[in-house]
Structure 1
Amino acid sequence: MGRKTKVALTVGAVGAASVAAWAASKVVAKPIPREDKEALNFDKPVVLAYHGGHLEAPENTLAAFSKAAELGVHGFAVDIRLTKDEEIIVFHDEFADRTTDFSGKITDYTLSELKKADAGYRFEDEAGHYPYRGLGEKIVTLRELLEQFPHMLIAINLKDSPDTYEGSLMPSKLWGLLNELDAEDRVAVTGSYDEQTDRFNLYAQNRVATGAGDGEVKKAYAAFTSKLGHLYNPRADLFRVSEKLGVFPLGTENFIHFLKRLNVRVYFEDVTEQDSLIKLLSIGASGFITDRPAMVMKIIQEHIGE
């Protein structure tokens, strides 16, 4: 027997063994779907106003949240930060001058100091005017948002890195507030850092819906595109993603259904084109996080119904 024949036989044997191992794993592996979370149980696609819909009113203000609620949205997607005195506020950027007349980091100020800021100061309408300046719009705490809108789903994004002081405190602070307000069944806690969400879940013990971080999304997509998707067990109840992860398409029917079979909802962000919204609706998107809630609500009503 020649060398080439021996090599061919060896390669063939390895290939056959790999196929056999894969087939065996298909029989043995039993992916475990996520348990139902009441917060995410909707019959139709969900619309969450991003920061309250910040293209239509000053972001993260009661004006924005109230305006979005009047449209009939299902809830809001917000970022949270800690103040100097460790109160949780609804705010996107780490710097106060992002939307107010204050300057410096959020953590430089106590809640009472931040409440003096004009939270509508930087909002500019299409005509170039600042219609909310001086109207008394204030920074909103997460407590106030939960109490003001008890019927709404709130997707809470943990912005701070787990390596920061604020990030180290936030999971326990957030759990304490949700537990105090009995709000576990009307929020979803998300964030880019899987480690941060895991820390929160040490307190919540799977009683709160959680979202996938960047690492979990990549892990799920890698499993989906390989032949080992049957080995993937999700660590989150919700994926909030864009249509693409770099060059890789996430807004496909097969990927959405791959996650749905595991009882994982997929909410899409940053979708601004009407055709894209309609396509995602048709292939099973569970929801949308948008700064244009009026437009998205109109499209859903036209294609899904009330």
Structure 2
Amino acid sequence: MGRKTNVALTVGAASVAAWAASKVVVKPVPREGKKALAFEKPVILAHRGGLLEAPENTLAAFSKSAELGVHGYAVDIRLTKDEEIIVFHDEFADRTTDFSGRIADYTLSELKMADAGYRFEDTEGNYPYRGMNEEILSLRELIQKFPHMLIAINLKDSPDTYEGSLMPSKLWRLLEELGAEDCVAVTSPYDEQTDRFNLYAQNKVATGAGDNEVKKAYASLTSMLGHLYSPGADLFRVPEKLGVFSLGTENFINFLAQMNVPVYFEDVNDKDTFIKLLHAGAAGFITDRPTVAMEIVQENTGQ
């Protein structure tokens, strides 16, 4: 056996010994629970109010979902020209209304004149909400109308944009004013945005994992270094798959559950996926079809 082989074996043995020692010394520290996430499982959040059943982000959609008994909503927020926070998915107004241009080009009062049911059509091709005075809602209005609901608020704007740079502080001031710290969870694909928000919130509000945090958690689990992972978020809001990697597994869900971090799966709209993830232990779902979601959960859990 050559010198290089002996060195390799020695290094390998030392690495295994260090890993074994770390398993004994380092114990995962569970995340402190947040009141906003203290629900009986599974949780159903209507995505934008349930965008396949009524015009997204309108009072019609939120009210319809509330009548079904959902636990809350998952919404995106944008900043208007007069720096009001509205519940709206896209950067451009013409995606779901009869207005054109960027959201940031209009004031809240101007946007209130838009027909927010303009692009919605039902399964038969009808436009049941067009011209029915469905308005764009401000986040303030949504929280005040549904104070008992969990609202997962997604910061869509990049921190490098003007709107994105203002949003964390604007959002915190609004939540603090309304006393809504315990009824929301703040998420963003940008970890920097939730970190900046938490500089103001000081852990008083539940925050979600961004893309980098999700990748970090998955890598920790699959590299056998999960015992060294310390979660940087209270909630994981994830798709069933991240590229070629499957997040909708019992191992991944249990890995985070052991640290008191629930996993909510988004874009779940078909029965088979619901049932599969329910059996894997999913803590919640973000769905465009709340009617279907509630039926499936009741059938499979008795809730």
TM-score range, shorter chain: over 0.9
- In structure 2, which of residues 103, 106, 124 is the aligned counterpart of residue 106 of structure 1? 103
Q: How many corresponding residue pairs?
A: 303
Indicate the residue corresponding to 2:276 in structure 1: 279
CA shift, 1:166, in A, is: 0.3
Q: Distance in 1 between matches of 2:29 and 2:201?
A: 20
Which of 219, 236, 240 is matched with 2:233 structurally?
236
Cα distance in structure 1, aligned partners of 2:60 and 2:68: 13
Name the residue aligned to 1:28: 25
**Deviation of residue 272 (structure 1)?**
2.6
Q: What is the aligned partner in structure 2 of residue 220 from structure 1?
A: 217
**Residue equivalent to 2:16:** 19
Residues 1:160 and 2:171 are matched in the alignment: no
- Is 1:169 aligned to residue 166 of structure 2? yes
From 74, 86, 91, the equivalent of 2:88 is 91
Q: Aligned ranges for residues 260-299 of structure 1 at < 5 Å?
A: 260-299=257-296
- In the alignment, structure 1 residue 210 sits paired with structure 2 residue 184: no
Partner of 2:78: 81
Q: Where does residue 146 of structure 2 map in the other structure?
A: 149
3-state SS of 2:147 partner: coil
Does the CA contact (< 8 Å) of 2:31 and 2:260 recur in 1?
A: yes
For the residues of structure 1 that align with 2:268 and 2:126, how far apart are their CA atoms? 26
Cα distance in 1 for residues equivalent to 2:132 and 2:4:
80
Give the superposed CA RMSD.
0.8
* Aligned residue identity for 2:245: F
Read off the aligned partner of 1:252 and give its amino acid letter. Answer: T
Q: Which of residues 114, 122, 128 is equivalent to 1:131? A: 128
Provide, for residues 23-79 of structure 1, a one-character-per-residue CA deviation record: whole Å limited to 9, x for no partner.
121122122211010000112200000000011100000000000000000000000
Cα distance, 1:10 vs structure 2:
1.1
Give the C-alpha shift of residue 248 in structure 1.
Answer: 0.7
Give the Cα separation in 1 of the matches to 2:41 and 2:4.
57
Q: Work out the CA distance in 1 between the residues paired with 2:269 and 2:64.
A: 20
SS of equivalent residue, structure 2 residue 73: strand
Is residue 2:254 matched to residue 1:257? yes
Q: Percent identity?
A: 76
Structure 1: stretches of 5+ with no match in the other structure: none
Deviation at 1:20, TM superposition (A): 1.1
Distance 1:18 1:121 in 2: 62
> How far apart, CA to CA, are the structure 2 residues paired with 1:70 and 1:15?
60
CA distance in 2, matches of 1:121, 1:111: 18
Unpaired stretches in structure 2, ≥5 consecutive residues:
none
User: What is the correspondence of 1:3-18 to structure 2 with a 5 Å cutoff?
Assistant: 4-18=1-15
Please say if residues 269 and 288 of structure 2, whose CA atoms lie closer than 8 Å, have aligned partners that are also in contact: no
Shift of 1:80: 0.2
Distance between the aligned counterparts of 1:260 and 1:239, measured in 2? 10
Shift of 1:133: 1.1
SS in 1 for 2:233: coil
- Cα offset, 1:129, TM superposition: 1.8
Stretches of 4+ aligned residues off by more than 3 angstroms: none
